[in-house]
Structure 1
């Protein structure tokens, strides 16, 4: 089955409505409501709402027993101000769909149209609209929700649009495709003093100025290297915003990346040893915490072969372009519950990069993504 011109026009309007009303991770209530409203015209056999927060799972079942195939999209937007003259630009200050999650959700809505017209011959298709992807919290919350056990997918697939790949070209490989990452928050405490008498205080300045280059020096190699590591200092704050006070406290944020989860454990250990030794040398107390924890995303060989076969059937070009990516993806956790694979769908060589304030999802990708997922469905479940 294929999408009609009317389908594509209505799906484009749906995508742009989502784009106009973005919500950040954990706050996707209205986005979920819009999805539920759109699904009412293409009703699934089962609809699970409030899954792991504001997540949704729409289940379309075939008449015979068979595997369960899950396709995942994301609901959340980013806390970034959009810079766009488009009539459907974000109406929420400081928030924008600048990663394409509105487009990914629209691809699943296209699948809902196709599945409502023709169910698979066997098994089930689950359209998973996941919350809180950008913080790395959403997939874990969905999987930990007791109702996820009623879904229990055998296969899980996803896609992400990818600027700097030709429009419609696909990046696909087996093995690691997205890095593990986590945010490290470090707080130093010393003693403030009058700015005219800094010797009477204990300043974190020397600790910060030494740690920033030392932490970034832990970076090594490229994603083609199994031992790839990258440390990026993303935020530093020291003392009060005043001229009369020598600082006594400081906060440092850094993002740690590795190709695999195992390598992440070693990088965290090395970074924390460096931080603790620096604090002790500078007579500071120190605390730390980890946030925005993403597991690495690894494509299962069998699931990757299924995607590759579908792409070949549709005569869609694909190769290993841009993979593995440095960026992280919350989809990796689904690989712990099912045979999973993710593909990367080219958004155009000159398209603005993800998370840029002028990014916008190319609507031409909606029918391409839907064709791929539709082909995967029929290859696995028939119909």
Structure 2
């Protein structure tokens, strides 16, 4: 792992567009919008990119594409940035704090958009000799229970439905890394996630006569405790797992034995065998405990998201190309966070890197209203993604047969199913 001070010191040489990047990032941060409502965000980006790229708006509702062509045909690259904000109050006392109550860019999507807009601007200023670049600004990465993933909506949109790319690149703000650093996971960049909800049904009664009712809240509390214990005792020490109950609601009155109660939570894993085993354990415990207390139970799984897997050829490319631009951290412990970037592997081999955003003064975690970044990370992110993009366009990405120039054998729409299977293997 790269040392924190070394990473910070690496970013003293800035490009001329840094002030412009900072202005854009702060503008986006001040005006955050929730999933599938990113109209103002899309308008800002479209207005900025219209003079340098072919822009298509309305992708998956509020998303957009910006396309830049090289002078001749060649490899193709998709760059992705998520657009939506997080439903949390901005707690920062800074001039660029959110002006939208209860909504904040607490996951760094303002940074992601700024970086990709910056890459587009630098590519347009010095067009590649060959190939093409498509920048996707994707809505709705944050996914409430049972809601549609923005990446899934993008894949269903005619703008990208039948397309394939030689490389699909993205990045995410990473508070655990110092500014000046790009982290590259060897294989797994994000975990799989399965969300669940269980609704317990009992029988209402007056609080003074509890024997006449069946308490749904008491039953739910027992299920929650047993689930935490059951998951903990059903995983081996070396298995990376995160289990969480995130919401609980129930009851109608303080003077009533509750008739209904519900809880939602998530299971995050890396290994498919572990994932299947723990899903069975969770549902079985909930059903058995409800039955033991003579309570009804409705159990639902939703938002099942695969892990983000980095393509080996792109990992190798990053390790070769990026050390000349930024400090590179070899990440050996994959996180248990998730991202619907995983679905975009259907469009081509993918790489998701981590952007160090923490300066000398430290910082707050993701999804916190206090989350902010050391804005020197903007130039770092743009420089790193521009270098990777140009490397692919120049034919320095190894093809599946081990030779360079992946674009020479790029599959067409008819080859998509086989190509997707190979990427996901």
Q: Which of 10, 15, 39 is the aligned partner of 1:29?
A: 39
Residues 230-269 of structure 1 mapped to structure 2, 5 A cutoff? 230-240=242-252, 242-261=253-272, 263-269=274-280
Q: Extract unaligned runs of 5+ from structure 1.
A: none
Q: Which of 309, 326, 330 is the aligned partner of 1:298?
A: 309
Match of 1:20 in 2: 30
Q: Extract unaligned runs of 5+ from structure 2.
A: 1-12, 396-425
SS of aligned partner of 1:157: strand
Residues 193-342 of structure 1 mapped to structure 2, 5 A cutoff? 193-217=205-229, 218-219=231-232, 225=238, 227-240=239-252, 242-261=253-272, 263-320=274-331, 323-342=333-352
Cα RMSD of the aligned pairs, angstroms, is 2.2
Rounded to whole Å, the distance in 1 between the matches of 2:67 and 2:265 is: 40
Shift in Å, 1:376: 1.1
Residues 40-79 of structure 1 mapped to structure 2, 5 A cutoff? 40-41=50-51, 43-44=52-53, 46-79=54-87
Rounded to whole Å, the distance in 1 between the matches of 2:237 and 2:72 is: 43
Shift in Å, 1:102: 0.3
8 Å CA contact retained: 2:176, 2:356: yes
Rounded to whole Å, the distance in 2 between the matches of 1:296 and 1:224 is: 20
Match of 1:130 in 2: 138
* CA deviation profile, 1:276-322 (whole Å, cap 9, x unmatched): 1122111122112234433211111111112222212325232216x
Residue 146 (str. 1) matches residue 158 (str. 2): yes
Rounded to whole Å, the distance in 1 between the matches of 2:71 and 2:157 is: 27
Shift in Å, 1:262: 5.2
8 Å CA contact retained: 1:139, 1:333: yes
Residues 117-196 of structure 1 mapped to structure 2, 5 A cutoff? 117-135=125-143, 137-149=149-161, 151-196=163-208
8 Å CA contact retained: 1:68, 1:151: no
SS of aligned partner of 2:41: helix
SS of aligned partner of 1:165: strand
Shift in Å, 1:342: 0.9
Alpha-carbon spacing, 1:178–1:168, altered in 2? closer, same or farther (3 Å): same
8 Å CA contact retained: 2:173, 2:354: yes
TM-score by length of 2: 0.83
8 Å CA contact retained: 2:191, 2:306: yes
